[in-house]
A and B are shown apart, each in its own frame.
Chain A
Amino acid sequence: MKPFDYQRATDADSAIATVSRDPEARYIGGGTNLVDHMKLGVTQPGKLVDITRLPYDSVESLPDGRVRIGATVRNSDLAAEPVIRQRYPLLAQALLSGASGQLRNLATTGGNLLQRTRCPYFQDVTTPCNKREPGSGCSALEGWNRHHAVLGASERCVATHPSDMAVALAALDADVLVEGPDGQRTVPVTELHRLPGDEPEQDTVLRHGELVTAVELPPLPFAVRSRYRKVRDRASYAFALVSVAAAVEVSDGAITEARIAFGGLAHKPWRATAAERALHGAPATEETFRAAADAELAEAETLRDNEFKIPMTRNTLAAVLRELTQQEGS
């Protein structure tokens, strides 16, 4: 591992100033992804600025009904938070489906959003990877691509985003609060992560030196009836092959509100707007659920090893919607 300088940030302004002026500097939160990447040689920062002791470690219910989650709130604490369990069960479930108990105790909200793909070629510095080394090629295109993208991929990169939490946040239309050298801005979580296009090395729209300080959830009353379901190669402690985050409202047997996002399918958490349009106003039936999945997957392109994701996504969405709408009817 390359030697690096370590600084513990005591206030956000100086942390942002330090990282902004040094292209080799990086923020570190829980470290569960970054420390691993430093061991693997995937990234070699010259300086780490530890932001875990900044005052971003609380979850607040705001007067306007929104909920603000500090960037350094640990994944385990967020999943256990009563307001999240009551009002946004899909978010608690998504967090609890990720990693393991000992990793969730370290991992932070901001770090979870900014974790990088688990594509094995990205993590193996002996193989070409456009995300790790722009222009070197994509080993997954013709290689082992069982876990890779079927939506929104490019010839340069077919990696998927690994976060479960971010999929739930995308369904909820959460906002990400960011501070940078030029002040604050708010980025909708659905616009935080990019599709790979010609620059797969850029996971997000954040600029060097910008710091995620919080995530805000809108009130969204119907999210009390919501679900995150994850399908994977083993029952626990594995990344998603496919996951579904969903919240729906049903009135007189028809769907009046629907929020759907998919994980494991794309370079970013995939907000399924075509599926939502197909659900709106439609009867809560198996045909509707499957038609909604098909509407979203119409543009899907599969690779050698991941064709199974298409029926798996259709079946998982239908199962989640069946469960949620039956609950509603009973």
Chain B
Amino acid sequence: MDSEITLRVDGRRETLSVDTRTTLLDALRERLGVTSPKKGCDHGQCGACTVLLDGRRATSCLTFAVANEHSEVVTAEGLAEKDEPHPVQQALLDNDGFQCGYCTPGQVCSAVGMLDEVKSGWPSYVTDDLEEPVELDEDEIRERMSGNLCRCGAYANIVTAIREAAE
């Protein structure tokens, strides 16, 4: 069963007809050619498909495209300003925050969303005092980024890069 939807993807307005079974991830990759969100597990367990959905990080594999009518989607591709990488992207480059790079676009979107959450004062499970401002130390970054797996194990440098980008 097909349904017509309109989305904004990395600043472009896109109208397309999708089978209701199409996930947002598949619509981006297979229909719109936006391949920076990656299909890792396709079950919400790895974070490789993370995009910013109406400004918040979300796993695009666990939401149907049809449920996101009029949504604003920003992928890792859309974060760069022309040839200038986003500060989180630059920090990952500067700190060797990846090896094969497959999880990286998801890590980038997740980190950008996460830093906004910290700015909004959201606590995490490792935040001692739920009413005090958050201090983004290594434990906080590791907890907040736990939804993004890196099978190369580049975590140490990902944490360093995010700390740098947060400054």
Contact = CB atoms under 8 A, between A and B. Distances in A.
A190 interface: no
Interface string A93-120: 1001101111101100000000000000
B123 A80 contact: yes
B89 interface: no
A97 B125 contact: yes
Contact of A100 (B3, B20, B47): B47
Contact of B58 (A48, A93, A102): A102
B138 to A, nearest CB: 13
A236 B143 contact: yes
A123 B145 CA distance: 26
A35 B62 contact: yes
B56 A105 contact: yes
Q: Which of B67, B110, B113, B127 has the most CB of A within 10 A?
A: B67
Interface string B113-147: 11001001111110100110000000000111111
A110 to B, nearest CB: 15
Contacts of A32: 44, 59, 62
A92 B64 contact: no
B122 A76 contact: yes
Contacts of A329: none
By size class, the interface of chain A is 35 or more
Contacts of B3: 6
Contacts of B62: 30-32, 35-36, 103, 106
B30 interface: no
Interface string A68-107: 0000000010011000011001001100110111110110
B36 interface: no
A64 interface: no
B113 A92 contact: no
B69 interface: yes
A6 B130 contact: no
Central interface residue in A85, A86, A101, A103, by most chain B CB within 10 Å: A101
A106 B142 CA distance: 21
Interface string A1-43: 1011110100000000000000000001011100110110000
Given A100-B148, A106-B59, 5 more contacts: A6-B67, A35-B23, A92-B123, A105-B53, A235-B146
